[in-house]
Amino acid sequence: MEGVISVRMRDHQVYLVEFPDNQGKLLQLPLQKSLSEVLEKKKKELSGQVGKSLKDIFPLRYETPFVFIDGLPLKGIITI
């Protein structure tokens, strides 16, 4: 599954995950606690879009070729 992650550079925390929808637009899943209601709605949209239950999508493991200045790679697991 392809997508985009947005990361705070100062602490390497992922705050937004995006997946392309059927029209090529990005479906945004915000990971901030203050946006939990939005996240719940977007998770349901993602599940319907890919035709899988959320338990088959998450936890989401990601790994990129990007390396932070401190030498740590941009990879991890997102559980929502």
Q: What is the pLDDT of residues 10-56, one digit of tens each?
A: 899 999 999 998 888 999 999 999 999 999 999 999 999 999 999 99
Q: Would the pTM count as exceeding 0.85?
A: no
3-state SS assignment for residue 12: coil
The domains of the chain are located at: 4-78
C-beta of residue 66 within 8 angstroms of C-beta of residue 74: yes
N residues, the chain: 80
pLDDT tens digits for range 54-78: 999 999 999 999 999 999 999 999 9
Which H or E run contains 50? Answer: helix 36-50
User: How far does Cα 67 stand from its chain's mean position?
Assistant: 18
